């Protein structure tokens, strides 16, 4: 009995030891599992934080509150139809109802030079939504050649007039992009704003009822090349151009001139004050707004490098001249490398539009373009979009 009892006690002791060992094993397994889950959770959390911080630094652009027309976009010259397709796909994201493509201001030796014909043929698929300006690949080339050669004789003028009239017949909604002062990169271009060929173009534009889009850094008086720009290709000294620009504006009051890129100034003189003076003096002057956060220039309308709130002096300018500004993002589209080539530009202009008082916003986004375009370039259906 005693022996049996001892055996029983011994057995129960062995059993308790085995049970305890199993418990310890279970606890250890539990702790290891907790550790693994903990590490996994931390990794996920840290990854999420990384993603969140990346988003913080590069927020996705938000669409415009008001439907808008972008009067200034460029295509990848290697695939113009594909670029236009990319723009059409981007339009709902942007809340753009129409995008105008224009050939950039080419020089005569440029590879891939093209003009309105290439845009118009691709735009046929999207009537009303994609329109073309023309002349960057031909008229601008003729102008730059005339300046560089000093030859603006009768033959040069005849060829220029012929081409300008041809573009009107093709149905362009404006002439552009014409360079009057264009810093490199990609190349340097200059023409006096009151050059005889510009005065001719001014008269043709007035007759046709279409505007001219000009690219011109502001140079009120001759100045050395701003710091940070390479010479060559830029000249060490820039020509004064504001007085000659005013002559162009005065030449034919029926011609509407759109001074592109208000908001990206690389000389330091395209200030809201200069814009105000010229808008006051010339009722036929309009401006396209462009903002480029990676290179905001010296007078961005938005604080914080072109991504923050509107600066008060620019806001006052937009409020005082709500009928004279339009959207001209200078966005490059192209599917070959990426649907958006180069810097993301439309988002910054939309960032500005969204901050404007509603009444000013609707005019800049949409209404003002109507006075700058032939009546048939904006269908009433698009126009009725709220």
* Site of interaction with Zn ion (CB under 5 A): 177, 215, 330
Pairing assessment for the beta strands 96-101 and 130-132 based on DSSP bridges: parallel
By beta-carbon proximity to Zn ion, the closer residue of 215 and 363 is 215
By beta-carbon proximity to Zn ion, the closer residue of 348 and 360 is 348
Burial of 212 (0-12, 13-18, 19+ CB in 10 A): buried
**Nearest approach, Cβ of residue 73 and Zn ion (Å):** 8
**Nearest approach, Cβ of residue 74 and Zn ion (Å):** 6
By beta-carbon proximity to Zn ion, the closer residue of 261 and 324 is 261
User: Which pair of tokens denotes residue 124?
Assistant: 């046929």
Count of other CB atoms within 10 angstroms of residue 377: 21
User: How long is the chain?
Assistant: 386
**Nearest approach, Cβ of residue 101 and Zn ion (Å):** 10
Cα torsion 50, 52, 56, 58 to 10°: value is 80
**Nearest approach, Cβ of residue 287 and Zn ion (Å):** 13
**Nearest approach, Cβ of residue 295 and Zn ion (Å):** 13
By beta-carbon proximity to Zn ion, the closer residue of 215 and 282 is 215
The CA radius of gyration of the chain, in Å to the nearest whole number, is 31
By beta-carbon proximity to Zn ion, the closer residue of 77 and 177 is 177
Distant-in-sequence, close-in-space partners of 225: CB < 8 Å, separation ≥ 6: 231, 234, 235, 236, 237, 238
Reported as half-sphere exposure (CB side, CA atoms, 13 A), residue 357 has a value of 12
By beta-carbon proximity to Zn ion, the closer residue of 76 and 330 is 330
From CA 286, how far away is CA 284, in angstroms rounded?
7
By beta-carbon proximity to Zn ion, the closer residue of 100 and 315 is 100
User: Which pair of tokens denotes residue 56?
Assistant: 């913080």
In the bound state, the residue with its beta carbon closest to Zn ion is: 215
Evaluate whether 175 touches 164 at the Cβ level (below 8 Å). yes
By beta-carbon proximity to Zn ion, the closer residue of 285 and 315 is 285
**Nearest approach, Cβ of residue 42 and Zn ion (Å):** 48
Assign residue 88 a region (left: φ > 0; alpha: ψ between -120 and 50; beta: otherwise). Answer: alpha
**Nearest approach, Cβ of residue 264 and Zn ion (Å):** 9
* Closest-CA residue to 319 (of 298, 307, 301): 301
**Nearest approach, Cβ of residue 151 and Zn ion (Å):** 25
Burial of 104 (0-12, 13-18, 19+ CB in 10 A): buried
């Amino acid at each position: 009995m005693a022996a049996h009892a001892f055996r029983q006690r011994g057995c129960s002791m062995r059993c308790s030891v085995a049970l305890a060992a199993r418990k310890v094993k279970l606890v250890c397994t539990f702790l290891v599992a907790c550790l693994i889950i903990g590490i996994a959770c931390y990794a996920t959390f840290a990854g999420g934080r990384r993603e969140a911080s990346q988003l913080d630094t590069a927020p996705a652009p938000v669409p415009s509150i008001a439907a808008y027309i972008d009067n200034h976009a460029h295509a990848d010259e290697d695939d113009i139809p594909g670029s236009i397709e990319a723009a059409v796909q981007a339009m709902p994201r942007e809340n753009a109802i129409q995008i105008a493509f224009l050939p950039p201001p080419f020089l005569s030796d440029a590879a891939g030079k093209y003009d309105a014909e290439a845009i118009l043929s691709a735009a046929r698929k999207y009537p009303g939504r994609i329109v073309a300006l023309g002349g960057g690949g031909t008229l601008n080339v003729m102008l730059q050649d005339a300046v560089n050669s000093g030859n603006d004789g009768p033959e040069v003028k005849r060829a220029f007039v012929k081409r300008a009239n041809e573009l009107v017949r093709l149905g362009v909604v404006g002439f552009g992009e014409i360079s009057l002062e264009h810093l490199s990169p990609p190349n340097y271009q200059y023409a006096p704003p009151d050059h005889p060929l510009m005065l001719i173009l001014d008269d043709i534009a007035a007759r046709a009822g279409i505007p001219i889009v000009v690219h011109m850094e502001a140079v009120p008086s001759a100045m050395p090349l701003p710091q940070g720009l390479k010479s060559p290709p830029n000249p060490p000294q820039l020509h004064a151009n504001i007085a000659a620009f005013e002559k162009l504006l005065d030449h034919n009051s029926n011609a509407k001139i759109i001074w592109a890129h208000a908001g990206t100034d690389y000389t330091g003189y395209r200030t809201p004050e200069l814009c105000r003076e010229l808008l006051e003096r010339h009722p036929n002057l309009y401006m396209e707004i462009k903002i480029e956060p990676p290179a905001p220039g010296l007078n961005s309308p938005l604080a914080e490098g072109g991504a923050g709130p509107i600066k008060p002096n620019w806001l006052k300018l937009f409020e005082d001249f709500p009928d004279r500004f339009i959207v001209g993002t200078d966005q490059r589209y192209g599917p070959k490398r990426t649907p958006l080539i180069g810097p993301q530009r439309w988002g910054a202009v939309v960032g500005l539009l969204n901050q404007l008082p509603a009444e000013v916003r609707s005019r800049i986004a949409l209404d003002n373009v109507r006075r700058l375009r032939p009546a048939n370039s904006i269908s009433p259906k698009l126009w009725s979009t709220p």
